[in-house]
Structure 1
Amino acid sequence: MQARYDVHDPATLERVGSAPLHGAEDVDCAVARAVGAGPGWAADRGRRREALGGGAEALRSRAGEIGRTLSLEQGKVLREAVGEVLVAADVFDYYAALEWEEQERLPERQGREVLVQRRPVGVVAAITPWNFPISLLSVKLAPALAAGCTVIAKPSPTTPLSTIALVDAVAQFVPPGVVQWLTGRREVNRALSEHHKVRKISFTGSTEVGAAIAAQAAPTVKRVTLELGGNDPAIVLPDADAQFTAAGIVGSAFRNAGQVCMAVKRVFVPAEREAELVEAIAAEAGRLVVGRGVDQGTTMGPMHSRSQRELVEGLVRDAVESGARIASGGGRGTELPGYFLEPTVVTGAAFEAPLVATEQFGAALPIVAYTDLDDLVGRLNGQEFGLGASVWTPDLDKAQALAERLEVGTVWINQHTQVELDAPFGGWKASGIGRERGIYGLDPYLELRTVNAREHSTSTPTAAPAAASAG
């Protein structure tokens, strides 16, 4: 009998359900099924389009059900959880309609015909985290299916139930073995990463785990896409409107209790406006209502685990002990027994303080004053992460000029956390390898092949010029 483990609500600590505890043998079986289903699936692009469209419709029809499951197991606000499922449906529709060439003919040369073909990479393992298990799976699963790959989805151990629901909703439109799910712990991740018949890993999560997965995948020389950590700064310029800026920053920083890779993690404000902006941001954060995600009126749920809350609280405590102060929050905000932390705004922390310099990934937001913008940009560019950043000013020319100087994958202007279906998303430096979304998110699931042909004749073929030899 298959072993199972329980999944709990981080707001109430109650049992939500259970999932199979899969292991390496289950990985072998799933990979064998995926390999067997591959050729037929890769050969029928029309069927792939229909399946993606059907998957989108199924997700929309089940958005309320899957969203509630997601809210219960992850903790996020129900409205946001349902929205995440609807976003996934949009992603499926986008890749169903996306036009791309499976083959192109290069200009003829010296009697040779040269074709460049795009073919599916093969079996894909999509390994996703607990903070956005549905939307982050969709940007892997939909383009992989569009490309003709078969996919094994492996969610975080703490949020498996919504992923199971998503995969099952899509699987009804594809042949057996094309889309599968496996649940369990890191043993499954390792087995997928090391399996010689898994040809691509697409992983979203921490930099530490991503580096380990890349190392495990290296001996079999499989492709790896890594969407990793971030410590996104919001840079407020002296002419920014305080209320507009505060609303935008708080909306990003405390979304999903701050557990968003691309959320505002720290705010840099002009020293001459520090008091005004701290007051505005603290007031905006104070309007959030902490509670269980599925309860009416809640606008911010719990943190996902005890360890994550303890980490963030420790960073806040360290900052305060070093001279910073809490401008708002710091308590629990509710009598519920779960992993709650009020939206906490901290001012006066040093640039080097761990709360500022590391990715805290939770419901705390440090605000740091700056006096020299050029120095600030240089220090930010010198740090390890490069996922995103935002610039806040009514002067768009000034904002665009600053955006050019920031070493990150996405720069937002007067907003933060907005992503587009057709624009690439990913990070520089330790924030990742590769891109997702748009045509840019399809390419990693395709292999290029060159077919170079000349006419057959009885004459002796001429050798290729030395300069054209590849090795």
Structure 2
Amino acid sequence: MNQHYDVLDPATLDVVGQAPEHSPADVDRMVERASAAMRPWAQEHATRMDALRQCAQAIRQDVDELATLMSREQGKPLAEARGEFLVGAGMLDYYADLDWERTTPLPDRDGRRVRVDRLPVGVTGTITPWNFPISLLLVKLAPALTAGCTVVSKPSPTTPLSTIALVERMARHLPEGVLQCATSSDRTVNVALAQHPRVRKISFTGSTDVGTRILAQAAPTVKRVTMELGGNDPAIVLPDADPRFTSEALVRSAFRNAGQVCMAVKRVYVPKDHVDELVEAMAVAAQRFVIGQGIQPSTTMGPMHNASQLRTVQELVEQALASGGRRVVGGGRGCDLPGHFMAPTIITGLDDEAALVREEQFGAALPVVAYDDVEELTSRLNQQEWGLGASVWSPDLERARSVAEDIEAGTVWINQHTRVEQDAPFGGWRQSGVGRERGVWGLEHYLETRVVSERPHCLP
């Protein structure tokens, strides 16, 4: 019988529930069941699409219960947790309705017929992080199940309960073995999935450091991999940007989910002569957050998710202040609860060499950096290792588009940041990722192509 481990509420540090401590042997059994389920699941496209729609409806039916569980184990406000499940249900419906060619005939030639088939890549392992445990899972599950793959899902050790609850509800509408969940308090299950010879694809979202290790573990069996990795998204404010509009939008993006969003604004670049005005407006916006436990109706920003992440961000802020940075707002906890709280913090007076600017802080601290020349700035940013997203801010759309054209990143927003679309590809350049998710681009990563070429069985 499996052991279990405690899952804690990051706001109160109370035990929310327990999750199974699965082992590599458990993974072997799950992969065996997933392999047995593959062929019948892959053969009936219409049946699969009906099942996806039923799964989406099951999520909507229980969304309040599911959102409360996620808010308690992850920390985010209840409305955001609810939205995460509903976005995920929408992703299932999107792929269920997606029109894609499973077989493409090529023109006949020399009396021969040639076609290209698209077939499921096989048993898939999904490895997902704690910041968006459900939406980042369903963006993988929906195309994988649409393609005809079977899936073993591995959630973060600290947010397994909402994933378990989701998989239980979806599994009621799926054949046995099609979707399973493996949990553990460490990374042994990650390694077991990445190394397993019968797992043919790994889809991972998380830090670049962990992603590169999983890539190395998957390499000996030459698995397909999709990696949505770290980001250190810059927001480039042009001189004519409206301070109030820009500051409100930047702060909403930067401190959503306590700053724990891979594609959030992580650093703001402002023309030197406009820094003070914009920072003052950002400070006003940042102080409007109501900090507390996510399940409380008044809360608009919850805690950071764990003690380690809070400590990392605090250390980056301390280093920034020690090197000449100025704290404009923040610095306290913003809440009397015992959890991992940090009030939204904005720091100015830094350059690209400061660790708070150079590294992905992934928390409730935001550096604002002055610049002189936007062309020099974009050139400098393109030489750095990150390339997940970026944004440009200006009422002059022609000028903003011109700057956006020079940015090397998976997504470039203009006068917005963090918005993603169901039908547009999402992923990063350079060390921010491998492959794309969402839309038809996401589906292609779960398909293999097979060419069938035939000729008559007779002499010419």
Q: Do Structure 1 and Structure 2 share a fold, with TM-score over 0.5?
A: yes
| 1:152 corresponding residue in structure 2 | 152
Match status 1:12 vs 2:12: yes
Letter of the aligned partner of 2:27 in structure 1? V
Measured after TM superposition, the shift of residue 312 of structure 1 is: 0.3
Match status 1:30 vs 2:30: yes
Question: What is the correspondence of 1:82-93 to structure 2 with a 5 Å cutoff?
Answer: 82-93=82-93
Distance 1:68 1:387 in 2: 30
Letter of the aligned partner of 1:309 in structure 2? L
| 1:289 corresponding residue in structure 2 | 290
Unaligned runs of 5+ in 2: none
Match status 1:254 vs 2:255: yes
| 2:314 corresponding residue in structure 1 | 313
SS of match in other structure, 1:56:
helix
Deviations 1:161-214 (Å, cap 9, x if unpaired)? Answer: 000111111111110000000000210000000000000000000000000001
Measured after TM superposition, the shift of residue 368 of structure 1 is: 0.5
| 2:39 corresponding residue in structure 1 | 39
Unaligned runs of 5+ in 1: 460-471
Give the % identical residues.
61
| 2:57 corresponding residue in structure 1 | 57
Match status 1:137 vs 2:137: yes
SS of match in other structure, 2:445:
helix
Letter of the aligned partner of 1:145 in structure 2? L
Deviations 1:248-296 (Å, cap 9, x if unpaired)? Answer: 0001000000000000000000111111001011111111111111112
SS of match in other structure, 1:198:
coil
| 2:363 corresponding residue in structure 1 | 362
Distance 2:83 2:62 in 1: 12
| 1:239 corresponding residue in structure 2 | 240
Question: What is the correspondence of 1:187-226 to structure 2 with a 5 Å cutoff?
Answer: 187-226=188-227
Letter of the aligned partner of 2:435 in structure 1? G
Distance 2:355 2:78 in 1: 32
Measured after TM superposition, the shift of residue 454 of structure 1 is: 1.1
Measured after TM superposition, the shift of residue 25 of structure 1 is: 0.2
Letter of the aligned partner of 2:452 in structure 1? V
Measured after TM superposition, the shift of residue 109 of structure 1 is: 1.1
Distance 2:133 2:175 in 1: 24
SS of match in other structure, 1:95:
helix
Letter of the aligned partner of 2:145 in structure 1? L
| 2:163 corresponding residue in structure 1 | 163
Distance 1:374 1:91 in 2: 38
| 1:179 corresponding residue in structure 2 | 179
Deviations 1:4-47 (Å, cap 9, x if unpaired)? Answer: 00000000000000000001000000000000000000001011
| 2:115 corresponding residue in structure 1 | 115
Measured after TM superposition, the shift of residue 73 of structure 1 is: 0.3
Distance 1:411 1:201 in 2: 27
Distance 1:67 1:381 in 2: 38
Measured after TM superposition, the shift of residue 111 of structure 1 is: 1.2
Number of residue pairs matched by the alignment: 459
Letter of the aligned partner of 2:325 in structure 1? A
Please say which of residues 450-459 and 44-53 is displaced more in the overlay. Answer: 450-459
SS of match in other structure, 1:385:
coil
Please say which of residues 28-37 and 347-356 is displaced more in the overlay. Answer: 347-356
Letter of the aligned partner of 1:267 in structure 2? V
Alpha carbon RMSD of aligned pairs, Å?
A: 0.6
Match status 1:96 vs 2:96: yes
Measured after TM superposition, the shift of residue 63 of structure 1 is: 0.9
| 1:425 corresponding residue in structure 2 | 426
Distance 2:451 2:396 in 1: 48
Deviations 1:76-115 (Å, cap 9, x if unpaired)? Answer: 0110000000000000000110010100100111111110
Please say which of residues 15-24 and 370-379 is displaced more in the overlay. Answer: 370-379
Deviations 1:316-347 (Å, cap 9, x if unpaired)? Answer: 00000000110001100011000000000111
| 2:80 corresponding residue in structure 1 | 80
Distance 1:105 1:164 in 2: 41
Distance 1:379 1:360 in 2: 19
SS of match in other structure, 1:174:
coil
| 1:452 corresponding residue in structure 2 | 453
Letter of the aligned partner of 1:64 in structure 2? D
Distance 2:61 2:400 in 1: 41
Distance 1:23 1:255 in 2: 34
Deviations 1:357-406 (Å, cap 9, x if unpaired)? Answer: 10000000000110111111111111101000000001111111111110
Distance 1:458 1:136 in 2: 55
Distance 2:107 2:371 in 1: 56
Structure 1: 4+ residue segments shifted above 2 A: none
Deviations 1:297-320 (Å, cap 9, x if unpaired)? Answer: 111000001110010010000000
Distance 2:362 2:331 in 1: 15
SS of match in other structure, 2:204:
strand
Deviations 1:89-148 (Å, cap 9, x if unpaired)? Answer: 000000110010100100111111110000000100010000000000000001000000
Distance 1:220 1:360 in 2: 33
SS of match in other structure, 1:230:
coil
SS of match in other structure, 2:350:
coil
Distance 2:333 2:165 in 1: 32
TM-score, scaled to structure 2 = 0.99
| 1:464 corresponding residue in structure 2 | none
Distance 1:349 1:193 in 2: 40
SS of match in other structure, 1:117:
strand
Distance 1:8 1:355 in 2: 28
Distance 2:238 2:100 in 1: 41
SS of match in other structure, 1:386:
coil
Measured after TM superposition, the shift of residue 458 of structure 1 is: 3.3
Letter of the aligned partner of 1:407 in structure 2? E
Question: What is the correspondence of 1:336-355 to structure 2 with a 5 Å cutoff?
Answer: 336-355=337-356
| 1:324 corresponding residue in structure 2 | 325
